[in-house]
Structure 1
Amino acid sequence: MGKATDHKDSDANVKVILFKSKTLADGSHPLMVRITKDRQRKYIAVGESCFLKHWDEEKNTPRRNHPNRAYIEQVIRTWTTKYASAAADLKQEEKPFTASSVATQLVKVIRKANLFDFIDETVERLIREKRLGTANTMKSIRRTLVRYEEHTNRKSQRKNGLLFTDLTPAYLDDFRVYLVERGLAETSMAVYFRTLRQIYNQAIKRSMVAAKHYPFNEFKVSQFDLRTRKRAISKADIGIIAGLNLETPRQLLAQHLFLFSYYGAGINFIDLAHLTWQDVQRGRLRYERQKTGHLFNFKLADSARSILEYYYPLTGSNMANYVFPILDRQKHLTPIQISNRVHKKIGQVNKDLKELGVLAGIDVPLTTYVARHSFATALKYSGVKTAVISEAMGHQTEGITQTYLASFENELIDEAFDNL
């Protein structure tokens, strides 16, 4: 790529630069649109940043070693063109204007920014970054919003599609009622609205919508806060589940995955799917969490080892093989194939777990999440301090949980595992 071209339409110079005067928390610098007019300058953040080692200051472009070079180049072209076009529009009015008025002119245009288009662009970026879980969540929200628009006949009435400015507090509350009527669990609604809030914040950051339209000051996502809702089951209930005599392979797999998650430090489903026999060493489980890259290392309880002994004759012929029959190395090759398979399988397993809960006479609807939560509660009652591990193991407490699990090598926690 050659040297970036400056746009000088309407006597305004528009360029995206690396703003070295500001350093972000991770050590990178923000990319800013710089509008120069009559020796005055206006800077606008584009919502992206770059490390100095990845930036060619002479050419004012990302270097070849930038991990997302093509994407950053596209961001630069997009925003340079948008602000240059806004400056050209002002010149046609044949009235004096400033660098600030160029920015204001663009805001008038981007108020018509389409939410669905922005989600699509964000999903593409997340897929490139291999953040497939978040990408799938956004795609799910998009599908649900499209159905809601069709249900309310709003879709046919909107000339420009669903705009950010259409997401008023009243709209969000009506959408919430729509989700409730369709039986969506509050945990799922919490994820939906937190993600929508994240999308809106990103749009503001990229000047796609003015902050004054922000609806989440009035529509509180905290109304879906489920931290106080108990989802754990007792050790006695765990024993009942372990004692169930199951006939179908699907039910047996669901039982084993649930119990292994409970006995295995609350390991979540995606990590269960990725476990290989190389992760099992000398009675301990060592693996890297898919979501965060955090390393876990802890003693396996006898009950967990018994489950592994069941699968070893089936999948243990090669140390690189997956422990549980969820993923197939011959079929699930790409990140998207793996993500789709895990998503499909967790829905199937949770459905089977609910059947197991009925067979066991347990009132709490069983899911893989219940196993994680029950593990945390069992450790608490085994003497682990509440300051270190909480009864809840949702997203709100995951950081605390990870900090706690980092010290699993110590004897105190190993002894607590013996009491599971």
Structure 2
Amino acid sequence: MKATVKLYKNDGKSKGQYPVKLIITHQKKIKRKTIGYSSAEDWNTLHELPKTSHDDYEDLYGLIMEYRKKALSLKFKELEGVISGMSFFEGSKGKITNFYLFADQEIERMKKLNRNGNADAYQYATDQLEKFAPELSFTDITRTLLENFKQHKKEDGLKNTSIRTYLYEIRAIYNKAVRMGICEDSRPFTGLFLDLPVRIRRNKNEYLDRKGIKKIMEAEELSKEQQMAVDLNLLQFYFCGADLVDVYYLKKKQIVKGRAFFKRAKLGVKGYEFDVKVLPEAEEIINKYKTDDDSEYIFPWRKDETGYKTFRSNHNRKLERVKKKLEIELMPKGGKLTSKVVRHSFATLGKFAGVDPDIMRELMGHERNDIDTAYKDKFPEKVRDKAQIKIARM
């Protein structure tokens, strides 16, 4: 764990000055925080300190020397992670007041929960906000600031949908901080979206019909890599359209007495545990690729965020090659064959087969409406298994 302070010129000037940044580095990860500003003429690049000509010389000099003293402490060097390292310099007795620092913690938490989509969405939104407001405490998040940010994005030519998405993610982080007692809720988001109308339209979900699924099941003369992509795609299908991320991180303890227990990572705290039957076809695929070591996971693929993203990208590319090779047509109007398509396919085929929508929700782990389902009993295994087999086996 290391900490340095320097005049940071990579981001360019702001009102004629460069930002002075505290930079935390640990195990190839970096976190930066702006602590002041200075012109090149008022900065001593040899010692990375302000010159006496700097307008804020005494305060900035004292702050940097205090940071350097903290950086030499054993307590700081023993910390793990750049976020905890930055928190060490906050000096707020463990309570984070910096919005971006709290956002970083939430992003890291999402990654540990394998909710990489949420993590990316938070990261994109906070990156955009940080470009507009480099320094931001929770008390700075006011209706005025958010309105100015919204107008700034409109002037940049962004569509209402994109602006709303950024604001939704920022609001989610802010609300989490409110629930944790980190800040008071000043309700800065109330009425913020009124002038951001969007056209609501039904998403076009591509899917494979039974003919397409059959072509994949009976595929021959594929390369080893293409066959693995097909097998994994079919495993998702046999698991009732399970998300790729949930299959990728499948643990040995999730398979119990011929059943697979899932909790969709995509839903986070809204997710609930549900189970599906491990069909012989699924078991065959698992046995083909499972690891024989003492790992808690069934499959041997890398279990970090970068490993999953790389795997998913390569996986979808292989599926698209298979689609072209087998001349598979996606319904209703074509499209690319990806890991998402198999989930849509299972849902669509279930609908066409007349399976009860409530049974489909239980098979696929769809988010529940608390009011709608509070008084509904879970369908018996035999009923769910019958529906699963009806869809999975032509």
Cα distance between partner residues in 2 of 1:319 and 1:382: 41
Residues 232, 374 of structure 1: 8 Å contact kept: yes
1:261 CA displacement: 0.9
Kindly state the Cα deviation for residue 237 of structure 1 after the two structures are TM-superposed. 1.2
Q: Which amino acid aligns with 1:218?
A: D
In 1, the alpha carbon distance for the partners of 2:167 and 2:314 equals: 25
Q: Secondary structure at the match of 1:232?
A: coil
1:383 and 1:416 in contact (8 A); partners too: no
Indicate the residue corresponding to 2:247 in structure 1: 272
In the alignment, structure 1 residue 300 sits paired with structure 2 residue 271: no
Paired with 1:369 and 1:140, the residues of 2 have a C-alpha distance of 22
The CA distance in 2 between the partners of 1:210 and 1:274, in whole Å, is 38
1:377 aligns with 2:348: yes
Measured after TM superposition, the shift of residue 242 of structure 1 is: 2.3
Q: Is 1:415 paired with 2:393? A: no
Moved more, 200-209 or 285-294: 200-209
Q: State the percentage of identical aligned residues.
A: 22
Once the two structures are superposed, residues 23-68 of structure 1 have per-residue CA deviations (whole angstroms, 9 ceiling, x without a partner) of xxxxxxxxxxxxxxxxxxxxxxxxxxxxxxxxxxxxxxxxxxxxx9
Q: Tell me what 2:105 maps to.
A: 124
Amino acid at match of 1:298: V
Question: Residue 384 of structure 2 aligns to a residue in which SS?
Answer: helix
Of 185, 198, 207, the match for 2:172: 198
The residue type paired with residue 171 of structure 1 is K
- 1:339 is aligned to 2:339: no
Output the CA distance in 2 between the equivalents of 1:399 and 1:261. Answer: 21
Q: Secondary structure at the match of 1:324?
A: coil
Question: Aligned pair 1:351/2:324, yes or no?
Answer: no
- Report SS of the residue matched to 2:357: coil
Question: Measured at CA, do residues 248 and 280 of structure 1 come closer, stay the same or move farther in structure 2, by a change above 3 Å?
Answer: same
Match of 1:140, as an amino acid?
Answer: Y
Change (3 A) 1:388 1:416: closer
**TM-score normalised by length of structure 1:** 0.52
Measured in 1, the distance between the counterparts of 2:360 and 2:164 equals 22
Of residues 368-377 and 273-282 in structure 1, the stretch that sits farther from structure 2 once superposed is: 273-282
Q: How far apart, in 1, do the equivalents of 2:294 and 2:313 lie?
A: 28
Q: 2:120 aligns with which of 136, 146, 165?
A: 136
Residue pair 1:288, 1:294 contacting (<8 A) in 2 also: yes
Q: Deviations over 1:75-98 (max 9, x none)?
A: 88667xxxxxxxxxxxxxxxxxxx
Counterpart AA for 1:127: E
Long gaps (5+) in structure 2: 1-83
Aligned position for 1:219: 196
Cα drift, residue 285 of structure 1: 1.8
Secondary structure, aligned partner of 1:298: strand
Residue 121 of structure 1 deviates from its aligned partner by: 2.6
Q: CA deviation at 1:166?
A: 2.4
- Unaligned 5+ runs, structure 1: 1-67, 80-116, 150-154, 179-185, 333-337
The alpha-carbon distance between structure 1 residues 262 and 200, as it changes in their structure 2 partners (threshold 3 A), is same
Q: How does 1:285-296 map to 2 (within 5 A)?
A: 285-290=260-265, 291-292=268-269, 294-296=272-274
Measured at CA, do residues 238 and 245 of structure 1 come closer, stay the same or move farther in structure 2, by a change above 3 Å?
same
Partner amino acid, structure 2, of 1:195: E
How many residues align? The count is 278
Partner of 1:399: helix, strand, or coil? coil
Query: CA offset at residue 272 of structure 1?
Result: 0.8
* 1:171 counterpart = 2:153: yes
- Tell me if the contact between 1:380 and 1:386 (Cα under 8 Å) persists in the aligned partners: yes
Please list, as runs of the form range in 1=range in 2, the aligned pairs for 1:226-265 lying within 5 A after superposition: 227-245=202-220, 247-265=222-240
| Residues 393-413 of structure 1: per-residue CA shift (max 9 Å, x gap) | 89xx53369x79x94652122
Could you tell me how far 1:131 is from its partner in structure 2? 4.9
User: What secondary structure sits across from 2:275 in the alignment?
Assistant: strand
Aligned partners of 1:210 and 1:361: how far apart in 2? 49
Matched position secondary structure for 1:215 = coil
Alpha carbons 1:286, 1:296 under 8 Å: kept: yes
TM-score of the pair, normalised by structure 2: 0.55
